[in-house]
Structure 1
Amino acid sequence: MKILSKRKRKKIRINYQGLALFNCKFILLLLMGSLISCLEIKEKNKEPQRPNILLLVADDLGYADLGCYGSDIQTPNIDNLAARGVRFSRFHTSPLCAPTRAMLLSGNDNHIAGMGIQSNQNAGFGYEGKLTDRIVTIPALLQTHGYHTYMAGKWHLGGDSLSIPFSKGFERSFVNIRGAGNHYDDQGLFEEVPITPYFEDGKPAAWTKGDYSTDFYTDKLIEYIDLNKKDKKPFFAFAAYTSPHWPLQVDEKYWEKYVGRYDDGYEKLKERRLESLKNAGMIPKDAVLPPNHEKVIPWDALSLEEKKKESRKMELYAGMVDNLDYNIGRIVQHLKDIGQFENTLIVFMSDNGAAAEDFYYHEYYGPFIRAHFNDDYETMGQPHSFISYGPGWAEAGSAPFRHYKGLTTEGGIIAPMIIAGPNVERKNDIHEGFLTLMDIAPTFYEVAQARYPEKFEGNKTYPLKGNSLIPFLSGETNEIHAPEYLFGLEHNNLAMIRKGDWKITNINKPFLEENFKLYNVSQDLAERHDLQESEPEKYKDLLEEWREFSNEVKVQIPPPPW
């Protein structure tokens, strides 16, 4: 065996080391190349992360009842959302709960969606009393585009098995099928529904006595959001709160801070709200108040006991709004805790103007309510108390607009709305331009990259009537609708048509076309001056628009005699 010299052995060892080093470098380069290739493929296949969508709807919240809009009621969590996004000062809804929810979830007219009237009427096209297959709901469409869909709260859009949230696109839901309920238990408010019907995921569900509605709905929504938080799919969550809808009920800790604040009455509060709205930048400095509705009893005409009770009503209402804000803060904090806050588009809104109705002494509804509730001063706000906001406070809550919920005057259909989150480049901004709740569905579809179909599940669908807000929110445009955009609305034979700065409104019954009044709402927020005689051509034009609109949506007007 030949023995190599020390010098040769060293040379061979060096060659082996060089070869090994070369091989290591070669393998490293291969690995790096593979890694880069994988990253490139992954990047090509990776879809942009779509935002979650959180829709928060208050029930009967007045335009002037949020801190960021100028109210004295403490709403720091809602105010923080406003600081991160846009407050809309001319956001239009329908005048009542059910039509608004139909328009909101469909992006279409309430008749097209099936809710031409508040109740379950089943009187042909537009009056089915439930959502129809002429539209696609937001959750149904988003679900087909990879979104989880959750809801907790008030439904009010039909109660049969094909109309409940579980059949309309909501993956998980806990809802009050009706339009209102006791906030602490399942005691019904009306004789035809003595027990409030609750459903979870399409099946009857029980209410645990003592749970408070706004707290419970918040718990449920958080529970649903947590169910699938690890699968990385986006969600659409709808908090359909029943606060501050009557009966005014809330724990004392929320309303006691407002004790004595409203002792000078609703007329003084209405005046203060006018000024605070101006200071908040929500209305022009030259805005004036409309006269009170005839149902409002002058404060000075009330007895001391009546004033004491009225003041407590407003304290309770403020406490409910305070609690609502607290629960919105809970949802926001939870989104932060799970790392989803920055990727969640949040919309907060009210469903109509402030509520003036009081059914406790109502000719039809009153006997049942009085048999199960009381309106004693000592128990106001408790589970078996039935108290309403009433017309005086509603007039203050709707300032500076005319009247309140149920009417197609501005006070009935202008509500607060705030949007914040992804795609919202405008911060702490106030937008005075015209928009409606039919603009929300197209906005959600754009952020979710979902195309609205011409057919859905075999049914032809009506085109959306609104515009996406994303071009405005992102700063690409400064307007949402062109000046010639037409907004028509009819509910229970109360009607309006809006085109540009001009509006005709009809709130007289029985419905007669000649009872339309003409207003320039850019110059007359309070709708004080009927201009039909000085602007006959404009009046004629809008009447023709009304005829075309009412024919399109098949408005039903009872023939005379009435």
Structure 2
Amino acid sequence: MKIKILSLALLGFSAVSVAQKQTQPNIILIMVDDMGYSDIGAYGSEIRTPNLDRLAAEGLRLKEFYNNSICAPTRASLLTGQSNHKAGVGYFNVNLGLPAYQGYLNRESLTLAEVLKQAGYSTLMSGKWHVGDDSIAWPNQRGFDRFFGFIGGASNYYDINGYTDKAPPVPLVENNQRINLAPGKYLTDEIAGHAVQFLEEQSKTNKPFFLYVAYNAPHWPLQAQPEDIARYKGRYSIGWDSLRSERFAKQQQLGLIAPNSTLAPDPEVPAWASLTWDEQQLWQKKMEVYAAMIDRMDQGVGKILETLKALKKDDNTLIVFISDNGAQGGFIPTGRRRQRSSGPIGTAGSYDYQEQSWAHVSNTPFRSYKASAYEGGISSPLIAWFPNKIKAGSIATGTAHLIDLAPTFYEFAGAQYPATYQQVKTNPLQGVSLARLFREGQEISRPQPLFWERAGNRAVRKGKWKIVSSYPSKDWELFDIAADRAETRNLAAAHPEVVKELAADYDQWAKANDVVDYDKIKPQGNQGFAAPTGANTAAAPQNNKRPNR
């Protein structure tokens, strides 16, 4: 009799556990690569993104969401809820000889997968890793049950062996096994396809899931499917000047940008009318392919949404969409030679870039580009979707950062962030949860400013004020972001007391996060993505008027 009672009790406990797990929301995190603030329809673009636009219309958009300006440092903060230095990726995925700059995630900074796995989640990832090249730091070793994708910072979208003898096959990894992209396959489709496959396999369990989809689109090289490129034929004949104005007007109409806002100029971008007819044709092609890459990414999002609905899991799934940094300006500044294309723009042999003039459009209405601490480098769209939990059509004003997503997901999941993990004392989370903002529209309460340092580029955001120092300068500029988000008016001379206060905050934060003066640690030669070279843009232009042929 006692055995029977005990069995019934255990069955009851098991049923409660299953029910509790089923009430935990599923979480999907989607991140794109090198995409500007205005590059999707919901943030002002003409590019066809119906699936992301639907998530925005049925969910929430943030006006001010910040990243870390460049690939690896962004991923470090996103995955851990720490500053990129505290997580071990202070510069890039290269080891500069100090713990804060070791180039891979340290054990003190737990990943989203490690924490959510402890809370009963299946943990799935498809796409770009870029926070640890050695196999001891790969996704399956950092909490992910399933992984498909590539480990480094960039990849071709096709196997291009047929185009050039110098190019290796596209190297991929699936669950710790090295594989190659099959000939004829397109990597953006494969990333979405494996995400769908993982969801279908996971549906056989009673567990909630966390799925991280890390697209490399629209990161260079410019390679896209012909049918997607054809959709944009002739759309960019108006040129970058007109297109930027067009997007700016749409952003104001949507309520993302204040009516009295200004557009940040870039004197290094030539007037479209100054180009010859032949040059205009070539530049149009670049943007047609770039748009096609974003279009294809959105199609993949649509397939994920269709799968959710088919599995009857859409009503209990939180989806967050972001970009890892702003669009890239001029060619990589130093330490790396431009690769030669062995095929037309958009094909498997193409190594072309979007480049600065079109990136200026992508980052509308902001100043500067990827790798910069100006708004054009660190601003991302953020869409949050959760049926019946997030109010449809919401546009929120609050200031948020990558470090806020980990505590947000943990609050939704009911997950506890442990003080120790596998006998290692963990770094405390540094962000604030956005759960009440998402569910109730409650204003973000941020007790501490936001800070940035990467390759000597520094910034602090505190309330409406932001100070920026662009390497190699050590001087601070001051901007009133509430009135001048495009950072067109430097107010440092008018408010020296504000500069002093925020600079002191920065020094305190830098010390607590083991930030080193960049001149003391600056790598030599081809070691990751070099620092921006000027105060106005993230990179010196590479003959932006005369495109590489």
TM-score of the superposed pair, with normalisation by structure 1: 0.86
TM superposition shift of 1:227: 1.6
Partners of 1:561 and 1:233 lie apart in 2 by 45
Q: Distance in 2 between matches of 1:415 and 1:86?
A: 14
1:270, 1:61 → 2: CA distance?
15
Corresponding residue to 2:500 among 518, 534, 540: 540
* Letter in structure 2 aligned against 1:365: R
- Of residues 385, 388, 393, the one that matches 2:358 is 393
Q: CA deviation at 1:88?
A: 0.9
Question: Which deviations, in whole Å up to 9, do the C-alpha atoms of 1:282-316 show, x marking residues without a partner?
Answer: 1101111111153x233233222211111111111
The equivalent residue for 1:62 is 36
Of 162, 166, 174, the residue aligned with 2:148 is: 174
Q: Secondary structure of the residue that 2:183 maps to in structure 1?
A: coil
Match of 2:92, SS?
coil
**1:422, CA displacement in angstroms?**
5.3
- Contact 2:126 / 2:191 at 8 angstroms: preserved in 1? yes
Deviation at 1:440, TM superposition (A): 0.7
Q: Secondary structure at the match of 1:245?
A: coil
**Structure 1 match to 2:419:** 454
Residue 345 (structure 1) aligned to one of 304, 312, 318: 318
What displacement does 1:90 show? Answer: 0.6
Counterpart in the other structure of 1:489: 452
Structure 1 residues not aligned, in runs of 5+:
1-34
2:144 corresponds to which letter in structure 1? F
Q: Residue 443 of structure 2 aligns with which residue?
A: 479
Q: Give matches, 1:20-35, under 5 Å.
A: none
> What letter matches 2:362 in structure 1?
G
1:26 corresponds to: none
Aligned to 1:330: 303
- 1:560–1:124: structure 2 CA closer, same or farther, 3 Å change rule? closer
Separation in structure 1 between the aligned mates of residue 356 and residue 162 of structure 2, nearest angstrom: 24
1:313 aligns with 2:252: no
Does structure 2 conserve the Cα–Cα contact (< 8 Å) formed by 1:274 and 1:288? Answer: no
| From 322, 331, 337, the counterpart of 1:366 | 337
Following superposition, the deviation at residue 546 of structure 1 comes to 1.2
CA RMSD of aligned residues (A): 2.6
- Tell me if the contact between 2:33 and 2:71 (Cα under 8 Å) persists in the aligned partners: yes
| 3-state DSSP of counterpart to 2:38 | coil
Pick aligned residue for 2:397 from 432, 436, 440: 432
Kindly indicate whether residue 370 of structure 2 is the aligned counterpart of residue 405 of structure 1.
Answer: yes
Give me the whole-angstrom Cα distance separating, in 2, the residues matched to 1:60 and 1:109: 20
2:515 equivalent among 544, 555, 558: 555
8 Å CA contact 1:248–1:313 kept in 2: the answer is yes
Among 270, 280, 283, the alignment partner of 1:297 is 270
SS of equivalent to 1:342:
helix
Residue in structure 2 matched with residue 29 of structure 1 by the alignment: none
Which whole-Å CA distance do the structure 2 matches of 1:366 and 1:186 have between them? 20
Distance 2:345 2:161 in 1: 17
Judge conservation of contact 1:188–1:195 (CA < 8 Å) in 2.
Answer: no
Deviations 1:187-231 (A, max 9, x none): 799x99955432111121222122101100111111112223122
Give the C-alpha shift of residue 357 in structure 1.
4.0
Q: Name the residue aligned to 1:529.
A: 489
For 1:452 and 1:299, the matched residues in 2 are separated by 52
> Secondary structure of the equivalent of 2:461?
strand
| CA drift at 1:84 | 1.5
1:518 and 2:481 equivalent? no
SS of the aligned residue for 2:135 comes to coil
Letter in 2 for 1:50: Q
Partner-residue secondary structure (3-state), 2:188? helix
Q: Distance in 1 between matches of 2:512 and 2:16?
A: 48
How far, CA to CA, are the matches of 2:125 and 2:461 in structure 1?
Answer: 32
Shift of 1:43: 6.5
Q: 1:455 to 1:303 in 2, by over 3 A?
A: same
Matches within 5 A, 1:457-468: 457-468=422-433
Contact 1:423 1:470 in 2 (8 A): no
How far is 1:561 from its partner? 13
- The counterpart of 1:145, out of the listed 119, 133, 136, is 119
1:503 paired residue number: 466
Deviations 1:499-558 (A, max 9, x none): 11111001131x52xx11011111111111111111111111011011111111122214
Match of 2:78 in 1: 104
Matched residue SS, 1:244: coil
- Give the C-alpha shift of residue 356 in structure 1: 2.0
Contact 2:60 2:390 (C-alpha < 8 Å) held by counterparts: no
3-state DSSP class of the match of 1:150?
Answer: strand
Alignment-mate amino acid for residue 501 of structure 1: K
Q: Give the letter for the 2:466 counterpart.
A: K
Contact 1:178 1:196 in 2 (8 A): no
Runs (5+) with no aligned partner, structure 2? 1-7, 523-549
Query: What TM-score do the two structures reach when normalised by structure 2?
Result: 0.88
Aligned length: 512
Contact 1:246 1:387 in 2 (8 A): yes
C-alpha distance 225-162 of structure 1, shift in aligned 2 (>3 A):
same
1:409-450 CA distances to partner (integer Å, 9 max, x unpaired)?
001101111011157332111112111111111111111111
Q: Look up the match of 1:227.
A: 201
